[in-house]
Amino acid sequence: MNEANKRLHAIVSGRVQGVSFRYHTTLEAERLGITGWVYNRADRTVEVVAEGDEDALKALETWLHEGSPAADVTGVEANWSEATGEFEIFKTVYRKVS
């Protein structure tokens, strides 16, 4: 794992479910070379955990404010920490494991 890698944990609110938000987030993360996951939460928000180069993660965070073409993002709550290196790819998670 690159020591410069960071972790972004974001909760995206607004009209972000049923608008291909997870699909487009995955495409953007893959384009940026980021690993992690995206998940639809029961409260109608979308959760994103991503790791990679800090500049790439900042680009993803900026993208999350717009989202997919049909989305209407009203907020992004972002928290930063050190990367753990636990991910190999970026994927959609359909059920969170506790």
DSSP secondary structure code for residue 59 in this structure: H
The pTM is what?
0.93
Q: State the distance between the two ends of the chain, measured CA to CA, in whole angstroms.
A: 24
Which positions ≥6 away from 49 have C-beta within 8 Å?
Answer: 7, 8, 9, 36, 37
Q: Clarify whether 40 is annotated catalytic.
A: yes
Catalytic-labelled residue, pool 40, 44, 79, 95: 40
Catalytic-labelled residue, pool 15, 22, 31, 95: 22
23-66 pLDDT tens trace = 999 999 999 999 999 999 999 999 999 999 999 999 999 999 99
Would you say 36 and 22 are in contact if contact means Cβ atoms under 8 Å apart? no
Q: Clarify whether 2 is annotated catalytic.
A: no
3-state secondary structure of 57: helix
